[in-house]
Amino acid sequence: MGSSRKDLRCSVERKGRTSCHVRYLIGIVQSSTLCAIFFVIFLAIHVVTLVSNISIITLIRRCSQLHTPMYLFLTHLAFVDIGCSTSVTPIMLIGFVRNGTAFPVAGCEAQLCFVVMFGTTECVLLASMAYDRYVAICSPLLYSTHMSPGVCIILVVASYLGGCVNAWTFTSCLLSLSFCGPNQVDHFFCDFSPLLKLSCSDISITEVVPSISSGSIIVVTVLV
């Protein structure tokens, strides 16, 4: 990895609180050949993801026959998929090229925030789509009432709001921690668990709060 990478450490501020200025994301593999292969594969997957989701959004917006609740949810699902993929894949591709990525702490926290937000929003949107199909099949005569434009807007807003709340839970817990010692993350993006391993603070509560938040969302969406 080189001596300069191994010597990366967290600096200590005047108030005595440790602050990590750089995260280093270690590449998934050390072989340059495998890195090149993985780079091409994941770049192709990312391009296909972007093109397909943008095509879905464009088609639904231009075709008036698709302006229904289900396709409204599908539009936002495609947008969230773009956001989730874009939050992770470009950094991972850079890691394949450089065999690791130097990442500022603020950028690392921002990436985690976006990943959690888009991931949570996607779960809630899928639950909303399931509810839409349930109403369409079990109460077809009341479908226009139960899935009115106002209800659809509320469900979409609730999906993004749930994503923001869960992301805020993760990010606020991360901001409350102090980091010291080595700052190397053996992961392809700034995930929550690998970051906790770098902390020199007490993480007993920090581990529980995000788990409760995510677990509650998973339970609710699965029940729906």
Domain count, the chain: 1
Q: How is residue 9 written in tokens? A: 């450490």
Q: Is 8 a domain residue? A: no
C-alpha–C-alpha distance, residues 165 and 154, integer Å: 16
Residue 1 lies in a domain: no
Which of these, 220, 103, 222, 122, lies nearest to 167 by C-alpha position? 122
Q: Give domain status of residue 170, yes or no.
A: yes
Provide CB contacts within 8 A for 30, sequence distance 6+.
99
Give the Cα separation of 79 and 54 in Å (integer). Answer: 8
Return the higher-pLDDT residue of 172 and 17. 172
Q: What percent of the chain has pLDDT over 70?
A: 82
Question: What is the phi-psi region of residue 16: left when phi exceeds 0, alpha when psi lies from -120 to 50, beta otherwise?
Answer: left
**Does residue 105 fall inside a structural domain?**
yes
pLDDT tens, position by position, 110-143:
888 999 999 999 999 999 999 999 999 998 888 9
The reply to whether the predicted model has a pTM over 0.85 is no
Confidence of residue 152 (pLDDT cuts 50, 70, 90): very high
- Distance, in Å, from the CA atom of 123 to the CA atom of 111, rounded to the nearest integer, reads 18
Digit-coded pLDDT (tens) for 53-97 = 999 999 999 998 888 899 999 999 999 999 999 998 988 888 788
199 pLDDT above the threshold of 50: yes
| 2 found inside a domain | no
Residues 6+ apart with CB under 8 A from 152: 69, 72, 73
Model confidence at 30, pLDDT cuts 50, 70, 90, reads: low
For 63, the domain range is 20-223
Are 209 and 169 in contact, with CB atoms under 8 Å apart?
A: yes
The CATH number given to whatever domain includes residue 151 is: 1.20.1070.10
Give the model's pLDDT for residue 23.
52
Mean pLDDT rounded to a whole number for the chain: 81
Q: Which of 217, 2, 219 is nearest to 120 (CA)?
A: 217
